[in-house]
Chains A and B, each alone.
Chain A
Amino acid sequence: MTSLRAVTLQLLNRLRDDSADIDAEYVVAPSSIAEAAAILAAAAEAGIPTAFRGSGTHQGYGTPVSADLVVTTTRLDSIIDWQPDDLTVVVQAGVLIDALEATIATRRQTAVLPEGVPGSTVGGAIAIGLSGYRRLRYGPTRDRVLQVRMATGYGKVVAGGSPVVKSSTGYGLPRLVTGSLGSLGMIGDVTLKLWSQPMSVATVEVGDASAALRDLYRPLAVLETSEGSFTYLGGPEAQISEQSARLGAAARRGLVWPEPITEPVQLEFRVPAAYVADAVEWIRRLGAVRWVAQHGVGIVSGGFEDFDVEGFTAARSWAESVAGAFVVTSGFGETFDPWGSPPSSVGIQRRIKDVFDPAGICNPSILAGNL
């Protein structure tokens, strides 16, 4: 086994990418999914724990992973096929979200990927399962991943889903892979469903976010933040004027999103939408420096200067008591599980992990329940 491991590492050396400052024995940057699959086949054979990396903006998300090999998507950086009239784009995992959005904005389209994560890659956002604020209007990111091509933990190139905007053809692999944090393999490219941008957009400051959500039909987002409450509108001009009149406030042109949360400790309440107001109470009481609550969605995220084990433990037990979760997304200590209690389906979850990553090499234990 040792010699196989040595030979594998030698081969990996040929794909070595030292340009990034990454703390791992080997860092490689495959230039195709087939190469990624070959690397994973070798790593599985030799039992080398492997991590995946896009641009590194969210490294550390999930339970900490120690890996000897890091596979990056830096060389998978092309927009392969954009079909504006079909509202689809095929894009490699390493493409930056900002670059993709800027390209498709030339035809007034959007992939509705998260706003305010500068430098993050498409593959990274999908691996984490990140959605942006416009989720209220357009649904979560995973609803727009139509097809995924990946290198599995057992070293094969596998495509799942369909390349068209609507499908009931086989199992929903794109949904499984979205949010799987590289625990099943590496995402190579994805086909995304696009939306046309609304004709005009506006931001309106409101007094009461819950009331705004109740009274408006289809706002893009309703956010309550430590700096005030805001409603985001999109549609024909007439619709925007009508809605801002209804809110009794002046509309500012454009979408002004909250500044990204940058405090060292970051966490999220993920609760049923009916509990957003309670989660806001909790995050205030915990002493968040800045926070953003997504009304109608159920995510309340905040930034903290310090880690408060006692407070966070209490908050977690409340969130779990309302069938939600309390997830620390950045800056947790060694002793605090970022995810909390494993899901009740952990048995099936474990079997899913095992069939896609039989050697257990892909981001080992990164997910809830040590998957």
Chain B
Amino acid sequence: MDTATELIELLGEARVHTHPIDRQIYAKDAGVSVGDPAIIVLPETTEEVAAIMRIAVQADVPVVARGAGTGLAGGAVPTQGSILVVLTRMNEVYEVDEIGRTAWVGPGVINLDLSNTLTVFGLHFAPDPSSEQSSTVGGNTATNAGGPHCLAEGSTIAHVLGVEVVTADGDVVMLGGAAPDLPGYDLRGLIVGSEGTLGIVTRVLVRLTKNPPNVATMLIAFSDINDAARTVSDIISSGLVPAALEIMDRSMVQAIENFVKADLPLDAAAVLLAEVVGHADGVAAEAEIIRGVAEQNRATEIRTATDDSERALLWKGRKSAFGAVAQAAPDYYLNDAVVPRTRFVEVLEEIYGIADQHGLRLMSVFHAGDGNLHPLVSYDAAEPGMKERVIAASAEMVRVAVAAGGTLSGEHGIGLEKREMMSQVFTADDLDAQARVREAFDADGRLNPGKVLPEGSRCFDRPPR
């Protein structure tokens, strides 16, 4: 029996796709790389995922897991004629433990849906990537996704307590759990951020965060981006850890205002969004401290919102950034390099220089509090040679960030896109150690081959598949 027939026998025809149109639909994520899955399957249970894996082992075919496909680094692009396991149907929220503040959820649960489901408990799932309306908890786990609010809350890794995983052999294991510091190695900590290369996550035990009783959001405009940067530094050294500190630069503000009327100050060189949460008096006190710091650093305008509708208006600009970019040109490309926070102004300057040299239009919106940049190039891929030029420029930008003491990715992952850049931040011995980890989980290299680690990472490499 061939592999497709076996899979149809397991899942039924409706959940196994091999038609060229389906294969084209599932050939890419939200990034620029394109693959070609041999077979697309949509399991609904852990047992089905395990059975799919055993079929793949039998047939010696690679397996790639995917959620909503919002990833930007090509982590879920099915290469090497793989079986693509689409986990979006596993979207149940199983158990919510209100006291322990945890929930078991399927990997296909959409990030924002989860938080909306939890409103009745006064709880939410803290990671809030820009893709929150469509990205899945499984995908967030695979990429160790972040978002504006991970400045105070930490990335997805801090909110995934346990995972149920189908291993490369088709076994089902539980890693981590609701109890802290369980004996043994923290394999959960390896799975999160491993981009589907160590196992397929079939259930996630998420840590839930109490909704803050009060929130204040401030929009602060500056005529010089250095003033914005100093404000961020001064806020943090004052002892405050705001819930979010986001900066939009001049070109981003202008693009946003062209797209939606978010009432952003068009003459500003930088707009800082700061949010503080807590009990009422504490929030008021913290907002006052931020105001003082901002005024000292020559803020040109400060708006404070305390009710939900005012807050939504202040966030509207930030949340419209990607739409604004899409309106400016048909395609966009961004990387998410991280730099030490104190270096972001100089690195941004260099990054704009690179864009100028390549004749590209760049705008920037980023997580200033943790130095996670998002230089965004808007372009038209139909223009011959344009995509290549954009990718080359982006690679130069990442190099500048690394040279400033940073790293390749803050929240998107390495995937296919930055795989060959890994040697910029890791030595051959470092990469070999990571390849050993992969070998311990997946000795045959079946899971998501050709991602994350560059070719030849393991000192004694097995022949490529």
Taking beta carbons and an 8 Å cutoff, which residues of A are in contact with B? 83-88, 107-108, 129, 131, 135, 139-140, 142-143, 152, 156-160, 162-173, 175-176, 178-180, 195-199, 217-218, 235-239, 241-243, 246, 270-275, 296-299, 322-325, 327, 339-340, 342-349, 351-356, 367-369, 371
Q: Which residues of A contact B372 (CB under 8 A)?
A: 166
Taking a contact as CB atoms under 8 Å apart, the answer to whether A355 and B430 are in contact is no
Q: Which residues of B contact A163 (CB under 8 A)?
A: 340, 405-407
Q: Which residues of B contact A239 (CB under 8 A)?
A: 278-279, 281-282, 285-286
Interface residue? B360 (CB, 8 A): no
Taking a contact as CB atoms under 8 Å apart, the answer to whether B342 and A298 are in contact is no
CB distance from A139 to the nearest CB of B (A): 5
Taking a contact as CB atoms under 8 Å apart, the answer to whether A348 and B429 are in contact is no
Taking beta carbons and an 8 Å cutoff, which residues of B are in contact with A? 97, 99-102, 143-146, 150, 154-155, 157-158, 167, 171, 173-175, 177-187, 189-190, 192-194, 198, 210, 212-213, 233, 236-241, 277-282, 284-286, 289, 338-342, 367, 370-372, 405-414, 418, 422, 425-427, 429-430, 432-434, 436-441, 452-453
Q: Which residues of B contact A237 (CB under 8 A)?
A: 285
Residue of A whose beta carbon sits closest to that of B142? A168
Q: Which of B179, B370, B429 contacts A156 (CB 8 A)?
A: B429
Taking a contact as CB atoms under 8 Å apart, the answer to whether B425 and A162 are in contact is yes
Q: Which residues of B contact A180 (CB under 8 A)?
A: 185
Q: Which residues of A contact B430 (CB under 8 A)?
A: 158-160
Q: Which residues of B contact A367 (CB under 8 A)?
A: 183-185
Taking a contact as CB atoms under 8 Å apart, the answer to whether A168 and B143 are in contact is yes
CB distance from B201 to the nearest CB of A (A): 13
CB distance from A371 to the nearest CB of B (A): 7
Taking a contact as CB atoms under 8 Å apart, the answer to whether A242 and B280 are in contact is yes
Taking a contact as CB atoms under 8 Å apart, the answer to whether A349 and B181 are in contact is no
Taking a contact as CB atoms under 8 Å apart, the answer to whether A85 and B155 are in contact is no
- For the complex, what is the distance from the CA of A197 to the CA of B422, rounded to whole Å? 35
Taking a contact as CB atoms under 8 Å apart, the answer to whether A152 and B239 are in contact is no
> Can you list 6 pairs linking A and B with CB atoms under 8 Å apart?
A158-B433, A168-B409, A172-B190, A175-B189, A238-B281, A324-B182
Q: Which residues of B contact A108 (CB under 8 A)?
A: 237, 239
Q: Which residues of A contact B289 (CB under 8 A)?
A: 236
Taking a contact as CB atoms under 8 Å apart, the answer to whether B338 and A166 are in contact is yes
Given contact pairs A143-B157, A198-B239, A343-B183, A170 touches B422 in the complex (Cβ within 8 A) = yes
Q: Which of B100, B340, B407 contacts A167 (CB 8 A)?
A: B407
Residue of A whose beta carbon sits closest to that of B162? A323
- For the complex, what is the distance from the CA of A87 to the CA of B179, rounded to whole Å? 29
Taking a contact as CB atoms under 8 Å apart, the answer to whether A164 and B100 are in contact is no
- For the complex, what is the distance from the CA of A298 to the CA of B178, rounded to whole Å? 9
- If A108-B239, A243-B279, A356-B433 are given as contacts, then 9 extra A-B residue pairs at C-beta distance below 8 Å, sorted by A number, are A88-B340, A165-B341, A168-B413, A171-B190, A270-B181, A324-B179, A347-B173, A349-B185, A355-B440
Residue of B whose beta carbon sits closest to that of A343? B184
Residue of A whose beta carbon sits closest to that of B153? A139
Q: Which residues of A contact B212 (CB under 8 A)?
A: 217
Taking a contact as CB atoms under 8 Å apart, the answer to whether B189 and A274 are in contact is no
Q: Which residues of B contact A107 (CB under 8 A)?
A: 237
- For the complex, what is the distance from the CA of A214 to the CA of B173, rounded to whole Å? 33
Given contact pairs A218-B278, A273-B178, A83 touches B342 in the complex (Cβ within 8 A) = yes
Residue of B whose beta carbon sits closest to that of A174? B189
Given contact pairs A196-B241, A272-B100, A273-B178, A342 touches B426 in the complex (Cβ within 8 A) = no
Taking a contact as CB atoms under 8 Å apart, the answer to whether B190 and A217 are in contact is no
Q: Which residues of B contact A243 (CB under 8 A)?
A: 279, 282
Q: Kindly list the 8 A-B residue pairs having the minimum CB-CB distance in the complex, ordered from nearest.
A: A239-B282, A175-B189, A368-B183, A272-B178, A274-B100, A162-B407, A355-B436, A236-B285
Taking a contact as CB atoms under 8 Å apart, the answer to whether B371 and A86 are in contact is yes
Residue of A whose beta carbon sits closest to that of B161? A272
Taking a contact as CB atoms under 8 Å apart, the answer to whether B406 and A323 are in contact is no
- For the complex, what is the distance from the CA of A3 to the CA of B76, rounded to whole Å? 53
- For the complex, what is the distance from the CA of A88 to the CA of B370, rounded to whole Å? 11
Taking a contact as CB atoms under 8 Å apart, the answer to whether A83 and B411 are in contact is no
CB distance from B245 to the nearest CB of A (A): 12
Taking a contact as CB atoms under 8 Å apart, the answer to whether A217 and B436 are in contact is no
- For the complex, what is the distance from the CA of A238 to the CA of B237, rounded to whole Å? 19
- For the complex, what is the distance from the CA of A189 to the CA of B438, rounded to whole Å? 24
Taking a contact as CB atoms under 8 Å apart, the answer to whether B100 and A166 are in contact is no
Given contact pairs A242-B280, A297-B180, A368-B183, A164 touches B338 in the complex (Cβ within 8 A) = yes
Taking a contact as CB atoms under 8 Å apart, the answer to whether B100 and A139 are in contact is no
- For the complex, what is the distance from the CA of A344 to the CA of B449, rounded to whole Å? 26
CB distance from A218 to the nearest CB of B (A): 7
- For the complex, what is the distance from the CA of A224 to the CA of B183, rounded to whole Å? 24
Given contact pairs A168-B144, A169-B408, A345 touches B338 in the complex (Cβ within 8 A) = no
Q: Which residues of B contact A325 (CB under 8 A)?
A: 179, 181-183
Q: Which residues of A contact B284 (CB under 8 A)?
A: 238
Q: Which residues of B contact A86 (CB under 8 A)?
A: 340-342, 371
Residue of A whose beta carbon sits closest to that of B439? A355
